Amino acid sequence: MKKDAAKLKKDLRPIQVVTLTDQVEQSLMSYLKENDFKAGDPLPKELDLADHLGVSRNIVREALSRLRMLGIVKSKKRKGMIYAEPDLLGSISKIMDPDLLGQEAMKDLFELRLVLETGMSDLLYARLKPENIEELVDIATREANDPECVHIAARLGYEIEFHGKLYEMSGNGTLARFQSMLLPVFNYMMEVESHLTKEPKRGNITHFDLIETLQSGTAAEFRENMREHLTPHYERLHD
């Protein structure tokens, strides 16, 4: 009997309850892909879709609403529903809020930030412009001369400005946009640091050191120095 039960567990999967709306949503996704829709192409009318799929118009409307929330379709005046190039970060940006996500999710996002910034060095070296160095020097100089930097909030402001410039310099629009979405995560980490019993350890590599590496070092050296610069945050991974 035990052997038979084990075989059933291996060969049979539980039946998943799929609603009509789920099925219509999947059918519409397949329809868009198989017919090679391009941004701006109109979709069939709701009534025609409902007739073809054999469901009510309300079911079709609910499925389309889901696709609209994902940025896959949108309403256009006098054209009805059209296909839209999906917004990769649109849905994520709407929920990037510490009060909605909770501590564990915010911690995961901050760790993602560490990975991105340590790994973007090749993009920076491929697209580096002389004026970028001047902009970074300006930020680092203002930071060094600001007496308010003894406070976490002031340091965080320069951290955001300096690293935000690096995201911009990468020339990758998705990366730059993602950095702006991570601002609530920076604020979350500031709140965490404000409750530490001792001053968090700082890395040995400063913003000026990173600038010097960009000017005369290699992508590999910059990656290593960025890793050291972010040491305090990496050490927190083991907390």
Give per-residue pLDDT as tens, 74-102: 988 877 889 987 766 766 666 676 667 77
pLDDT for res 152: 75
Q: Per residue in 46-65, pLDDT tens?
A: 999 999 999 999 999 999 99
pLDDT for res 10: 58
Q: Per residue in 199-234, pLDDT tens?
A: 556 668 999 999 999 999 999 999 999 999 988 777
Q: Per residue in 112-121, pLDDT tens?
A: 888 889 999 9
pLDDT for res 14: 66
Phi and psi at 200, nearest 5°, equal -65, 145
Checking if the pLDDT of 26 tops 80, the result is yes
pLDDT for res 146: 93
* Residues forming CATH 1.20.120.530 domain(s) in the chain: 91-238
CA distance 107 to 62: 34
For strand 73-76 and strand 80-83, is the pairing parallel, antiparallel, or unpaired? antiparallel
CA distance 167 to 120: 8
The more confidently predicted of residues 9 and 35 is 35
CATH 1.10.10.10 fits 2-83, yes or no: yes
Cα dihedral 183/185/191/194 (nearest 10): -90
CATH class as words, domain 91-238: mainly alpha
Q: Per residue in 139-184, pLDDT tens?
A: 999 999 999 988 877 888 898 899 999 999 999 988 888 887 777 7
- pLDDT interval class at 190 (50, 70, 90): low
DSSP string for residues in the chain = -HHHHHHHHHH--PPPP--HHHHHHHHHHHHHHHTT--TTPBPPPHHHHHHHHTS-HHHHHHHHHHHHHTTSEEEETTTEEEE----TTHHHHHT--HHHHHHHHHHHHHHHHHHHHHH-HHHHHHH--HHHHHHHHHHHHHHHT-GGGGSHHHHHHHHHHHHHHHHHHTT-HHHHHHHHHTHHHHHHHHHHHHT-SSPPP--S--HHHHHHHHHHS-HHHHHHHHHHHTHHHHHGGG-
- Give me the percent of the chain exceeding a pLDDT of 70: 78
* Residues forming CATH 1.10.10.10 domain(s) in the chain: 2-83
**Residue 92 is which amino acid?**
I
